[in-house]
Chain A
Amino acid sequence: DGGITQSPKYLFRKEGQNVTLSCEQNLNHDAMYWYRQDPGQGLRLIYYSQIVNDFQKGDIAEGYSVSREKKESFPLTVTSAQKNPTAFYLCASSFIAGVSTGELFFGEGSRLTVL
């Protein structure tokens, strides 16, 4: 089945540790996105990528890093520089032409808790 897979679903980490969240899609989508969602709030854009080996900062990129070495994969690293990393992280993907039409596919999310 085609889809977008995020892992892990739940993750705990200690302060000062880096952690990497995985996002994989087998939909042959060009564009991929990472969003952060805090309780009861909307989605804030961290990073996005339209093609392999290229990505752009979103509105809250500080303390995060990404890579896009393969079309299918867009991992997000939450670094120790991120001051308040506890949140729900959503990955999404789309064909380039589908972005404007709302044909965005979302993963099930990863909930990160910093102890």
Chain B
Amino acid sequence: EDKVVQSPLSLVVHEGDTVTLNCSYEVTNFRSLLWYKQEKKAPTFLFMLTSSGIEKKSGRLSSILDKKELFSILNITATQTGDSAIYLCAVTTAGNKLTFGGGTRVLVKP
């Protein structure tokens, strides 16, 4: 069975802090790792990672994948209250199966 595990389950930070979210996986026939942000209902896409060691950046968010150790991290620098959300990690495998992790709930306090 494919497994995607995220940590921590939740965290509370203050505006301006930096957060690091972790995602580890054990899957068969890995194709890509995806990060999503879910604020209310539908998740929105953040990053797609397929190669080890190549950092993806978008504003204050960045992410990197380690295919040898089977994990990825998502960093958020200079956090703002608008960053409060559930962050979801997902892995796609051959056969177009998309497996999500349990999510990390981030709360940014003013």
Contacts and interface: CB of A to CB of B under 8 A. Distances in A.
Interface in A70-95: 90, 92, 94
Interface residues of A, number: 28
Contacts of A43: 43, 88, 90, 100, 103
B41 to A, nearest CB: 5
Contacts, number: 73
Interface residues of B, number: 29
Of A35, A96, A102, A104, most B-chain CB atoms within 10 Å = A102
A45 B2 CA distance: 11
Interface string A44-76: 110010100000101100000000000000000
Interface of A: 31, 33, 35, 40-45, 48, 50, 56, 58-59, 90, 92, 94, 96, 99-104, 106-109
